A and B are shown apart, each in its own frame.
Chain A
Amino acid sequence: MKIDLFITCLADSYYPRTGIAVVKILEHLGHEVRFPREQTCCGQPMFNTGYKDDTRTIAKKMIDVFEDSDIVVTPSGSCAAMIHENYEVLFENDPVYLKKAKALAAKTHEFILFLTDVLKLNLTDLGVQWKGKATYHYSCHLRGIGVEGGGAKVVDVIKQVNGLEYVQIDKPEQCCGFGGTFAMKYPQISGTMVEDKVNCIKDTQADYVICNDAGCTMNISGSCQRAGHEVKFITLAEIIAEGLGLLEVENV
């Protein structure tokens, strides 16, 4: 299968190892991965803040960049949801791009869901072997691509990893308080929300937090850092890549 990677701006600059893991896994599975270099960002920060016109330009670019792709895979549920839910809203009055937006949404998949729902893979059968005590942070925008609050569906996938000791977090469905510009406009509310999340993480006594959305990772890990709580943040993609011997096990 020819798969085009949408890395997302945050993973590109801040969490490149996630992208590396995705490429290695897909190539390991025998697929051809391409990286259209003109890609930038899905436009979610502008869209969520209300700058629709600015977003439209960026979304058009995204649509054009991936126009010829058969399948687009991205490591972020949030950016996938942006394409799935909001591109249509942007082009309500532009029939040409509306059609293209729908086509892009139809072929865009979040990486983990791509493994499970499209490739129908099971991590145990795949032989993923990884050691560590981990909990999972459900990122809210997975709601936009059909994974309901708490992310039981993803937890089931995590539990397929041999050797991984999974610990359930309390209030899994409660947002970490990131919300893009929300965190900057309302530091008081956002701060209280993320403190709540950090406390829930502390209670799990996990060594790792599996967090597949870079925005949430920035927020929660930043708050853990401030609170002096030592815990490692890792994506499931990195765990799978490490667990298949495609990436060295490293201090993330």
Chain B
Amino acid sequence: MSSAPGSQTTASESVELTMDGHDILFPKLPYDMKQRVQGATNNAELQEFVNSATRMRDQMRINGCKDAFGDNYDKIRALAGDIKQHTLDNLDYYIEQFIDNATAAGTNVHYAADAEEANAICKEICQKHNAKLVVKSKSMVTEETNLVHELEAIGVETIETDLGEYILQLDHDAPSHLVTPMIHKNRASVGRAFARELGVEYTDDPGELTKIARRVLRDKYRQADIGMSGGNFMIADSGSVCICTNEGNGRLCTSVPPVHIAYIGIEKMIPSRKHLPVFLKLLSRSAIGSPITVYNHIMTGPKRNAEPDGPQEQHIILIDNGRTEVLKPETREMLRCIRCGACLNSCPVYRKVGGHSYGSVYPGPIGALLTPVFKGLANYKDLPYASSLCGACYEACPVKINIPKYLIQLRSDLIGGKHDKFTDRVFFKLWSFSLKKAWMYRLAGKMAGVFLRLRNKGVKNKNPYLNRGWVEKVPGPAAGWTEKRDLVTPPTKDFRSWWDEHQKSKGGK
């Protein structure tokens, strides 16, 4: 694909270009996942590189973690999970402690109940400083509040400085992965976007493209009135914010411009600095398999008098936006997430459908949990079911969020809210009923067998325990099955028949 000429547009790209980045993450509700799934599974390019990139990263995670932790891998995940869970269990206490300490360090701490409030606070700070240009590092919560669009709407040019996010912004595209936001894009489309938007000569060489981006961005850091960031961790007992980036852009955003604003979800808390190493060890190993993120930046308050650089003014906006609702005991565990992306990389469904199919800021397994709880289960009915419940995400998650368990819980909530199809309900009721008595179960099994064998294409095996056949098409609830594969028919005799014969042959009952 590297040789694709600069003028050609791929089918997938033309779809994406007509769809503004905003619509990808904020689709019409209730969201219907099927259409995008169809597009993604038919998109050969996406299948190729999302599949291989996620697989590669997943393998890097496994190797990196096994090398570092060996048999203790599970233990350190449990420890990280426990630290997070403890903090969430006592979040009110730690938030208060954080606010006190951050304020004492000279930071202005704000609380925003929702996206609107958060952006209003941010806009007010921008207006107070008469800001024309904002540079920002990667932050999922700013995606959640749709901040960039809102700032641009009031005339504040806002530049994403994470290379991946920068490219997506240039191309009016949206992130499709928590850590590698442009995992769905190929080099040629990046090259075309650069040529079109920056007026440079077309190239698809990653090194050249990086240099161009760097050149453009360096000036922006110097000119910016305000630098923005997210925050990977908040440290309660010192009032510090830790951000982890691999490109150093986070450090530039938070230290060059005179004002720094951090957007942070309230769940990003840890009690103290001594807990940080556990997470730093796990975060980048889980994300990309590397021992540590390149730039780990811990900030406590704005620049002090004797310090040569750093912002003169610092704001932290603590963002709720649905989180206190998730904090209820039944769902609290979901908030442990440190956004490492390991569950996405390990997920066989994500590998096939890509991030945009989830129709929200948070894709993949954790997105399938967080999106419905943040934005309403009725708005995202498809997501909890878009999983084979294989458990790869749970195995990969550094803070041990039992994602499959909560997906099932959401399914159950959907059914409790009568969001299931009536036919499904009846089908499962009848099936469950037939399982109450062994004779009914056996009768139902035999009837299904007869039904299927009537449609069977012919069987070669003479053994009554092995003479299975195949059906190419069935009506009813299993129709989806035969869309993609044949359905096996049961052999003529079941295990119970054999057991009876076996008992007889032994002279038993």
To the question of whether A and B form a pair in one complex, the answer is: yes
Bound Cα distance A183, B461 (Å): 28
List of A residues within 8 angstroms of B47 by Cβ: 192
Bound Cα distance A37, B495 (Å): 11
CB-based contact A182/B387 at 8 Å = yes
**Among candidates B436, B468, B502, residue contacting A58 with C-beta atoms closer than 8 Å:** B436
Given the known inter-chain contacts A14-B491, A23-B502, A49-B424, please indicate yes or no for A41 contacting B392, CB distance below 8 A: no
CB-based contact A189/B386 at 8 Å = yes
B205 within 8 A of A: no
Bound Cα distance A16, B449 (Å): 14
CB-based contact A50/B498 at 8 Å = no
List of A residues within 8 angstroms of B216 by Cβ: none
List of B residues within 8 angstroms of A144 by Cβ: 391
Stretch at the interface among B170-178, B194-202, B270-278, B411-419: B411-419
List of A residues within 8 angstroms of B466 by Cβ: 17, 250-252
B-facing residues in A62-99 (Cβ within 8 Å)? 85-86, 89
List of B residues within 8 angstroms of A19 by Cβ: 495, 498-499
- Kindly state the interface size class of chain B when it binds its partner: 35 or more
B298 within 8 A of A: no
A127 within 8 A of B: no
Given the known inter-chain contacts A20-B495, A140-B392, A189-B352, please indicate yes or no for A40 contacting B438, CB distance below 8 A: yes
Stretch at the interface among B10-18, B112-120, B126-134, B473-481: B473-481
A-facing residues in B21-74 (Cβ within 8 Å)? 34, 37-38, 41, 47, 51, 55
B-facing residues in A195-225 (Cβ within 8 Å)? 195-196, 218-219, 221-223, 225
Interface string of B373-395 (1 = CB under 8 A from A): 00000000000111111111011
List of B residues within 8 angstroms of A135 by Cβ: none
CB-based contact B387/A12 at 8 Å = no
**Among candidates A37, A61, A173, residue contacting B436 with C-beta atoms closer than 8 Å:** A61
A57 within 8 A of B: yes
Stretch at the interface among B78-86, B102-110, B335-343, B425-433: B425-433
A-facing residues in B467-509 (Cβ within 8 Å)? 468, 470, 477-481, 483-488, 490-491, 493-499, 502
CB-based contact B390/A179 at 8 Å = yes
List of B residues within 8 angstroms of A54 by Cβ: 428-429, 432
List of B residues within 8 angstroms of A189 by Cβ: 37, 41, 349, 352-353, 386
List of B residues within 8 angstroms of A52 by Cβ: 412, 415
Which residue of chain B is the closest to A61 with respect to CB atoms?
B436
CB-based contact A188/B388 at 8 Å = no
Bound Cα distance A251, B390 (Å): 30
CB-based contact B495/A143 at 8 Å = no
Most chain B CB neighbours (cut-off 10 Å) among A38, A175, A221: A175
List of A residues within 8 angstroms of B449 by Cβ: 13
Which residue of chain B is the closest to A171 with respect to CB atoms?
B55
B405 within 8 A of A: yes
List of A residues within 8 angstroms of B51 by Cβ: 196
Given the known inter-chain contacts A149-B392, A175-B392, A183-B481, please indicate yes or no for A192 contacting B488, CB distance below 8 A: no
CB-based contact B385/A185 at 8 Å = yes
Q: In the complex, what's the smallest C-beta–C-beta distance from B231 to chain A, in angstroms?
A: 32
CB-based contact A226/B395 at 8 Å = no
Dominant SS among interface residues on chain A: helix
B420 within 8 A of A: yes
List of A residues within 8 angstroms of B428 by Cβ: 45-46, 49, 51, 54
CB-based contact B445/A13 at 8 Å = yes
**Among candidates B384, B388, B479, residue contacting A193 with C-beta atoms closer than 8 Å:** B388
List of A residues within 8 angstroms of B429 by Cβ: 54
List of B residues within 8 angstroms of A221 by Cβ: 488
B348 within 8 A of A: yes
Interface string of A105-118 (1 = CB under 8 A from B): 00000000000000
CB-based contact A186/B385 at 8 Å = yes
Bound Cα distance A57, B429 (Å): 11
Dominant SS among interface residues on chain B: helix
Q: In the complex, what's the smallest C-beta–C-beta distance from B424 to chain A, in angstroms?
A: 7
A-facing residues in B385-409 (Cβ within 8 Å)? 385-392, 394-395, 405, 408
Q: In the complex, what's the smallest C-beta–C-beta distance from B289 to chain A, in angstroms?
A: 15
Q: In the complex, what's the smallest C-beta–C-beta distance from B41 to chain A, in angstroms?
A: 5
**Among candidates A46, A179, A218, residue contacting B388 with C-beta atoms closer than 8 Å:** A179
B111 within 8 A of A: no
List of B residues within 8 angstroms of A186 by Cβ: 37, 385-386, 480
A136 within 8 A of B: no
A163 within 8 A of B: no
Bound Cα distance A38, B392 (Å): 34
Given the known inter-chain contacts A183-B480, A191-B485, please indicate yes or no for A140 contacting B388, CB distance below 8 A: yes
Bound Cα distance A19, B3 (Å): 56
Q: In the complex, what's the smallest C-beta–C-beta distance from B382 to chain A, in angstroms?
A: 9
B7 within 8 A of A: no
**Among candidates B34, B415, B441, residue contacting A41 with C-beta atoms closer than 8 Å:** B441
**Among candidates A16, A85, A141, A194, residue contacting B465 with C-beta atoms closer than 8 Å:** A16
A231 within 8 A of B: no
CB-based contact A50/B495 at 8 Å = no
Which 10 A-B pairs rank lowest in CB-CB distance, beginning with the nearest? A179-B388, A50-B411, A191-B484, A175-B390, A140-B390, A222-B485, A184-B480, A54-B432, A16-B495, A223-B485
B-side interface residues toward A, CB under 8 Å? 34, 37-38, 41, 47, 51, 55, 346, 348-349, 351-353, 384-392, 394-395, 405, 408, 410-415, 420, 424, 428-429, 431-432, 435-438, 441, 445, 448-449, 460-461, 463, 465-466, 468, 470, 477-481, 483-488, 490-491, 493-499, 502
- A183-B481, A196-B352 known; 11 new pairs, CB 8 Å cut-off, are A20-B498, A37-B496, A43-B435, A45-B428, A50-B415, A54-B429, A186-B385, A188-B37, A188-B484, A222-B481, A223-B485
* 30 contacts across the A-B interface (CB closer than 8 A): A9-B445, A13-B490, A20-B495, A23-B502, A35-B499, A38-B438, A41-B435, A46-B428, A47-B408, A54-B428, A57-B436, A140-B391, A140-B392, A141-B391, A144-B391, A171-B55, A174-B348, A175-B390, A178-B388, A182-B387, A182-B389, A183-B481, A184-B478, A186-B480, A187-B481, A191-B484, A192-B41, A193-B348, A225-B488, A250-B463
